[in-house]
Structures are given as C-alpha cells and as structure tokens.
Amino acid sequence: MPLFHTFFKTLVGKEMTIELKNNLLIHGTLISVDQFLNIKLDKISVPDPDKYPQFLSIKNCFVRGSVIRYIHLPPSEVDPTSLQEATRKEAMQSKMQQ
C-alpha cells in the first residue's frame, strides 16, 4: 500500500524543494517522512529570505503532508521503471482487496 512512503524513504539525505499550497518554496535535505507523507527537512533555505525573514533563523522544519502541493524531485535519484513496476504491483493488490 504505502508506495509513496516507501519511495520517499529512498530519498532520505537528498536535496529537494517542497512547494506548499500557499506558494511558499522550501529547499532542503530530506531527513524523514512518515505514512501521512509529513516531511522533515534539514539545512533549509527559501528563495526570497527578505520576504520570509523568519526562515533566516530556522535550520530545519517539519511540513504537514496536507499543505504540500508539489515536491520538485532530483531526477537523478528517481528510477521511473521501478516506480512504474511498484505502481502496477500496488494497483493489482488493491484490485484483489476489492
């Protein structure tokens, strides 16, 4: 079932940019992810620190999964073939449960 949870666990230690539903972009290194796809980032930065001075003093943060719109992923760390395989497998499993 937890395809995306499993996927994001493989990206721990990698850099990515989280785009929130309020349009804020947070760049950082993935520390951890849970089943709700809540995310902890370390070494964070925002593109416009003057606009968000509160981020100057923050080094890491916890982002609630539900406020995330996109996550810009590092393409070199993503294997499309294995993702598609995992997706097909999970789709099969959820079909069996129906």
Partner 1 sequence: MATSEEQPPTTQPFTLEDPLDLIRLSLDERIYVKLRNNRELRGRLHAYDQHLNMILGDVEEVRTQIEVDEETMEEIFKTQKRNFPMLYVRGDGIILMSPPEKPTY
Closest CB 98 distance from partner 1, rounded Å: 8
Handedness of CA 80, 85, 90, 92 (dihedral sign): positive
Q: How far is the CB of 57 from partner 1 (least distance, A)?
A: 28
Toward partner 1, which CB reaches closer, 23 or 57? 23
CB closer to partner 1, 44 vs 68: 68
> Which of helix, strand or coil describes residue 90?
helix
Read off the amino acid at residue 87. Answer: T
CB 53 to partner 1: min, Å: 26
Helix (H, G, I), strand (E, B) or coil at 94: helix
